[in-house]
Amino acid sequence: MHRRTLLTGATAIGTSALAGGFAAGGPASAGTGGTWRAGLARLHDAMAARVARGELVGMVYVVAHRGRLHVDTIGTLTLGGDDPMRRGTPFRIASLTKPVIAAATMMLVEDGRLALDEPVDRLLPELAGRRVLTRIDAPLDQTVPAERPITVEDLLTFRMGHGIIFEPSFQPPYPIITTATALQLAMDQPDPRTPLDPDEWIRRFGTLPLMYQPGQRWQYNTGSLVLGVLIARAAGVPLGEFLRRRVFRPLGMRTTGFTLSRGDAARLPGLYMADPETGELRPQPGSPPSEWTRPPAFPSGAAGLASTVDDYLAFTRFLLNGGVHHGRRLLSAESVRRMTTNHLTPQQLAEAGIFPAAGRGWGYGMAVTVRPDDISGPGRYGWEGGYGTTWFTDPHRDLIGIALTQTVDFIFNGASEEFQRLASAAAGPR
């Protein structure tokens, strides 16, 4: 996967946190067991080494396993700066927004306001009467009728017939791509944001044909953008308000949203990406803190949220607990099962090449492993964010790992995979 796909030395500073508070002086953790402590020490050393080598600026990560909780902070907010990463540091989580949107959709399904198999035309009439390109690079007037309407489940499984194109290059200059750009739809990177409000965005998107027949292929990103508009219409309130009422407040996610307070926005880390020629990290101009202090015109269900490691841990634990948070059921176990189960056919899996690793399928808004690898057996679920974030849950081992950085290369230079592998190893034998 190209580094642009999900976008848009330093001295290591290490601290760790127990379940009840911080423990100064290195990666000590709650619980006992030599494997756990030694494994977490290896994880800390590996991530700190990457910061020291200038591959990362800083990070906050958590590993939770069967009642044990380990939080570590390494590095600084800015390259060469003095302010350290802290447990409460907010991050732009980019595509880690997608699983949250999927959960919100399933809440509306359980409310009876949506149905998985219903056409989206009822609430999104702009998408009625779809036409489909005869080939991906065809002029926009070379189309055939869609064989069926787009359904809610098509959006969740990214099989709606539209999405980011990766080959032969990232978003090649096909008419379907260049026209979407001219319409200011912002179909791929989180920043710069579209200036359009949700109604105008969906109206303009509805003037485009689909790339493929609904249900035919897996294609990244667009499904979550459309879901954001659909959720707001089904709920009768703006997307951000629905998420606050049904997800963030019930889960205690106090620093998660499409906007941040001025104080929280000021604590956003700098955003960095390696220079392709020198390999040195360079600050990126997009997504400045000031942008996060005002509501976006279009709250992106694909990549628009900011969050903290504890907030996102609450969300992932809610899924691991089958939709229950602190004894209160927020989502049915069946809905969580559908979210975390692969829905792609073997042919769709082969065509998707779900990045950045093979052996993964797609549930609702997240990847699901379909064969064993060096991290876990089948059934591990989670996803990555293009600004340098990753999350995985191994439900068979009651294991969660979340790593938040703002270095884009984290998910391309092997650091994300190393984090997941070492976090999994710390939990002991599979």
Residue by residue, DSSP assigns 318-387 as HHHTTSEETTEESS-HHHHHHHTS----HHHHHHH--SSSSSEEE-SSSEEE-S--SS-STT-EEEEETT
Query: How would DSSP label each residue in 213-261?
Result: -TTT---BSHHHHHHHHHHHHHHTS-HHHHHIIIIIHHHT-TT-BSS--
Total domains in the chain come to 2
193 and 49 in one domain?
A: no
Q: E-assigned strands of 142-234? A: 143-145
Cα-based distances in Å from 278 to 12, 54, 150, 388 = 22, 12, 45, 19
Residue reference for tokens 């800083």:
58
Q: Domain with 180 in it: what CATH number? A: 3.40.710.10
170 and 195 in one domain?
A: yes
In a domain, residue 37? The reply is yes
Indicate the SS3 state at residue 127: helix
Q: At 280, list the tokens.
A: 């040195």
For 290, counting Cβ atoms within 10 Å of its Cβ (0-12 exposed, 13-18 middle, 19+ buried), the class is exposed
In a domain, residue 373? The reply is no
Distance CA 63, CA 428 (A): 13
In a domain, residue 1? The reply is no
202 and 63 in one domain?
A: no
212 and 169 in one domain?
A: yes
Distance CA 185, CA 182 (A): 8
269 and 408 in one domain?
A: yes
212 and 63 in one domain?
A: no
198 and 150 in one domain?
A: yes
Q: At 45, list the tokens.
A: 């050393």
Q: Hey, which residues does 75 pair with through a beta bridge?
A: 58
Size (the chain), residues:
430
Q: In the Cβ-directed half-sphere of 190, how many Cα atoms lie within 13 Å?
A: 34
Measured over the CA atoms of residue 308, residue 310, residue 314 and residue 316, the dihedral's sign is positive
In a domain, residue 147? The reply is yes
60 and 169 in one domain?
A: no
Q: Hey, which residues does 273 pair with through a beta bridge?
A: 282
Residue reference for tokens 């760790």:
16
399 and 290 in one domain?
A: yes
In a domain, residue 59? The reply is yes
> Strand 381-385 to strand 389-394: parallel, antiparallel, or no bridges (unpaired)?
antiparallel
Cα-based distances in Å from 229 to 32, 126, 307, 328, 331 = 47, 11, 21, 28, 21
pTM for the predicted model, two decimal places: 0.93
205 and 151 in one domain?
A: yes
In a domain, residue 209? The reply is yes
In b/e form, how buried is each residue of 238-275, taking b as 16+ CB within 10 angstroms? bbbebbbebbbeebebebbbbbbeeebbebbbbbbbbe
Q: How confident is the prediction along the chain (430 residues), in pLDDT tens digits per residue?
A: 344 444 433 323 333 333 333 333 334 344 446 899 999 999 999 999 999 999 999 999 999 999 999 999 999 999 999 999 999 999 999 999 999 999 999 999 999 999 999 999 999 999 999 999 999 999 999 999 999 999 999 999 999 999 999 888 889 999 999 999 999 999 998 999 999 999 999 999 999 999 999 999 999 999 999 999 999 999 999 999 999 999 999 999 999 999 999 999 999 999 999 999 999 999 999 999 999 999 999 999 999 999 999 999 999 999 999 999 999 999 999 999 999 999 999 999 988 877 656 789 999 999 999 999 999 999 999 999 999 999 999 999 999 999 999 999 999 999 999 999 999 999 998 8
Q: What is the pLDDT of residue 430?
A: 80
224 and 270 in one domain?
A: no
Distance CA 209, CA 47 (A): 45
In a domain, residue 371? The reply is no
117 and 210 in one domain?
A: yes
In a domain, residue 200? The reply is yes
| Counts of helices then strands in the chain (DSSP H, E) | 13, 17
Quick one: CA torsion of 76, 80, 83, 89, rounded to 10 degrees?
-40
Count of beta carbons in the 10 Å neighbourhood of residue 13: 16
Domain range spanning residue 130? 100-239
Distance CA 33, CA 35 (A): 6
